Structure 1
Amino acid sequence: MENPIPERHVFSLQTAFGLRVGDALQDKVTGREDVTIQCAALKYPVSTSERGLTLVLTHGMSSHKESYHPMVARLLRLNVTGTRAGLIREIWSVDMPNHGESAVLNRTYLEDRQERGRKAGWDGKCNTMDFSSYLNAFLSIPQLQGHRVVGIAHSGSCVPWTHALTLLDHTHPHPFALILIEPVFMFPGMPPTDPRAIHGAANVRGVLTKRGKWSSRAEAKRWLLGIKGGDPKSRQSKQGGVDVGGSLERPKGLSQSDKGASVNRNAKGARTIWSKWDDLALDLFVEHALEEVHEPAQAPRMSTRSSSYVRPTLRKEEESPLYACLQHTVEPAELTRMCVALTPGSGGAPGSVNGGVGGVHVIWADIEEFISKSTRAEILDAMHCVQSQRVVSGSGHLIPQEDPSGLADALRDVLVGHIAVAAGITVRAPL
């Protein structure tokens, strides 16, 4: 399955926004409201085996559901060539409510909520607790009933999984297991000198000052790579089958085969955050994390020509607060409770499939850009009973974008070596 073609789905999820951690009477909290929110998701049908695992992928802050496609393409190729068994049943990748395609679908509600919040004196922006409620609703869709769901979360989407499974009531029997990629967990009382606090504060400020408007996707791509004027000499305008000038009507280029990780540099060899990304991952970001805007000409201008440009689907004012420490703070006991409930032999969390579970697993970056060794030790101590750990060699914090092939290899190791065993799935060795 070198060229997986995902199905595009949009779900109307009935959920609640404005919940707060620790509030006993959440229905009385200012700004709390029951809403129907749109959720854009990609589904990769893999096997008809009902015993196989269903992977649910959630992206980090400022990313999008298509960001996992290069990793998924390699993982599915490994699944076919290496197992000859129904290890994976389906793969789902989900946009957070104010990210990617979901942001476009929810724009009217998101702007209305913020406006109402400004007038009434409460924060109307989405937070990670809203993401938790949203994720909880997604896990309850009929399409996932009876599935062994393995949650796979990167960076800032790890806390929503934790809150969803420990703080919110739920009736779904999920997950069977969790794989956390570079989990950003912060604890109450964390000093401001902690690298996570320093980076978080810098992101809160930096997001508000970064550029957020370009004349075209091609110009945005040049800016991301740090290229001043002209076309990228080291890059063509079309990479990996992704048309960087395409629309957001449907994911483009996702039928192309995945590529090995590579480093993007501008013509002078300079590096930016995005220049370290895999080629296809960067093109998917330009295609799906940005949206085209067409504004009609306004009187009294002499010209009747409309203006058009591209901008991020996640607005600056929505993105900035998501990096605040409070958004990723959990009680250590909360992590312990989640991990213990998913420990094989524990009997499983309430409603788990056949009472069985496959544990919590962690994948770390090789380069300590955001999470230091001491921080890892602190997180692991709070989690108490992590079943396995992996390190993706040479990668920084943004593993899905920097080394999707390395991430796919690590995920397959965890799925085959641990979770499949807990699920009773027989995985054959490659021929």
Structure 2
Amino acid sequence: MQSESYVFDPRPDYPLVTTAKRYWHPKFYSEDSDALTLIFTHGTGFHKEHWEPTIEDLYAALEKSSKPPKICDIWSLDCANHGDAAVINEQELQWGYSHVFAWEEYGRSIHAFLTGQGVGVPVDFSKRRLVAIGHSMGAISHMLLTTLPVPVTYSAMILVEPMLLPPPTMIPDSDALISGAQRRRDIWPSRNAAYEILQSRPSWKIWDPRVLKLFVEHGLRDLPTATYPDKQEGVTLICPRDQEVACYSDKLGRSRAYKFLPTLCSRLPVHFIWGSISEPYLTTETKDYVSHTVAQGKAASVAKVPNAGHLVVQINPTGLAKAIYDVLRQEMARGQPSEPTVVSRL
């Protein structure tokens, strides 16, 4: 698997820069018109590189297949206040984004990226057969961008543990999420020290080792920063705690996505992938209710990955890659529509 990094700049029309990474495998790279281009987006507190073990295992699944689905390339995008984008946008994020960072902002960044409303990525995605794959906040952001002006064409959408919760639990206990983020340790003497500490903690110990190493490599940055201008040594979270809190404070995006779900399912194939473990915010009952009742029986498929809950990307990327592979095979069998489905209205 090979990769290269990009910076997409939509300014002055939109103030936040997007950082992206492109992945491809020379053996499986295809420029056929029916080949798929995958667009990955991450959850709150993570970054684009968290998908790399899943992508690696997806290519491994293609290696074992007698008739693998055709893939042109794979893109993973940082939310504007996460990953490498958080460093570039550091000053801008302090101007109006400190209290609430709407999940639709991530959607706006993806939308600008895919519609070419900026510079830095010389690809015409309107000619690609796009499959959206988002985890948690990233899943909601994919959903919300389809309601923006200027059409974006998706062939299919894969929602991985989307934060879709029915009333009266539409909004999870934001205070608990916020207080957890506020209490989280965010300074370590070095990356090596951070890795040793994190891998000893029960909640991190269950992560796939590859993902934890990527978190330490790409999810931390050297001090000083705008948050800690007086700290000259050590490392801190690349997504500052106040920005993680700002994401958890958005109470509108999830509600809008929840109500929009049946419409989205009627416009294009929507596939659900859940972790099999029931958790307080996303119980097994809630997952089943969302993917069947709320989707009004229109979901293209529903799958559950064993031995993982909401953090399926971090805990079981191999199982997740298998589930994504199965969806991609379905989409290849479905074939490319003669007239692509436009999923947003002018």
TM-score, length of structure 1 as denominator length: 0.69
Shift of 1:37: 2.4
What CA distance in whole angstroms lies between the structure 2 residues aligned with 1:331 and 1:96? 18
Gaps of 5+ in 1: 16-33, 115-122, 226-265, 296-305, 343-358, 426-431
Gaps of 5+ in 2: 117-122, 226-230, 338-346
Task: Tell me if the contact between 1:12 and 1:39 (Cα under 8 Å) persists in the aligned partners.
Answer: yes
- 1:362 pairs, out of 272, 279, 297, with 272
Shift of 1:36: 3.7
1:138 lines up with 2:109 in the alignment? no
Task: Tell me if the contact between 1:79 and 1:87 (Cα under 8 Å) persists in the aligned partners.
Answer: no
What CA distance in whole angstroms lies between the structure 1 residues aligned with 2:302 and 2:85? 32
2:9 match: 12
2:282 match: 371
Task: Tell me if the contact between 1:51 and 1:89 (Cα under 8 Å) persists in the aligned partners.
Answer: no
Aligned length in residues: 318
1:277 match: 207
What CA distance in whole angstroms lies between the structure 2 residues aligned with 1:362 and 1:164? 18
1:288 match: 218
TM-score, length of structure 2 as denominator length: 0.85
SS of residue in 2 equivalent to 1:197: coil
Q: Deviations over 1:336-377 (max 9, x none)?
A: 1111011xxxxxxxxxxxxxxxx1000110111231122123
What CA distance in whole angstroms lies between the structure 1 residues aligned with 2:307 and 2:197? 25
What CA distance in whole angstroms lies between the structure 1 residues aligned with 2:221 and 2:246? 21
Task: Tell me if the contact between 2:3 and 2:23 (Cα under 8 Å) persists in the aligned partners.
Answer: yes
Judged with a 3 Å threshold, the aligned counterparts in structure 2 of structure 1 residues 201 and 160 are, in CA distance, closer, same or farther, namely same
Shift of 1:88: 1.0
Shift of 1:126: 2.6
Q: Deviations over 1:234-277 (max 9, x none)?
A: xxxxxxxxxxxxxxxxxxxxxxxxxxxxxxxx3xxxx5221110
Task: Tell me if the contact between 2:40 and 2:132 (Cα under 8 Å) persists in the aligned partners.
Answer: yes
Judged with a 3 Å threshold, the aligned counterparts in structure 2 of structure 1 residues 279 and 158 are, in CA distance, closer, same or farther, namely same
Judged with a 3 Å threshold, the aligned counterparts in structure 2 of structure 1 residues 83 and 99 are, in CA distance, closer, same or farther, namely farther
- Tell me which amino acid in the other structure corresponds to 1:423: G
1:180 lines up with 2:106 in the alignment? no
Q: Deviations over 1:91-113 (max 9, x none)?
A: 10111101001111111211244
SS of residue in 2 equivalent to 1:139: helix
What CA distance in whole angstroms lies between the structure 2 residues aligned with 1:139 and 1:307? 38
- 2:83 pairs, out of 100, 105, 108, with 100
- 1:328 pairs, out of 254, 271, 289, with 254
What CA distance in whole angstroms lies between the structure 2 residues aligned with 1:360 and 1:277? 27
- 1:213 pairs, out of 160, 184, 187, with 187
- Tell me which amino acid in the other structure corresponds to 1:71: T
Task: Give the greater-gyration-radius structure (CA).
Answer: 1
What CA distance in whole angstroms lies between the structure 2 residues aligned with 1:338 and 1:310? 41
What CA distance in whole angstroms lies between the structure 2 residues aligned with 1:286 and 1:128? 24
Shift of 1:73: 0.8
Shift of 1:50: 3.1
Task: Tell me if the contact between 1:186 and 1:325 (Cα under 8 Å) persists in the aligned partners.
Answer: no
Judged with a 3 Å threshold, the aligned counterparts in structure 2 of structure 1 residues 294 and 319 are, in CA distance, closer, same or farther, namely closer
What CA distance in whole angstroms lies between the structure 2 residues aligned with 1:308 and 1:332? 44
What CA distance in whole angstroms lies between the structure 2 residues aligned with 1:108 and 1:424? 43
Moved more, 326-335 or 209-218: 326-335
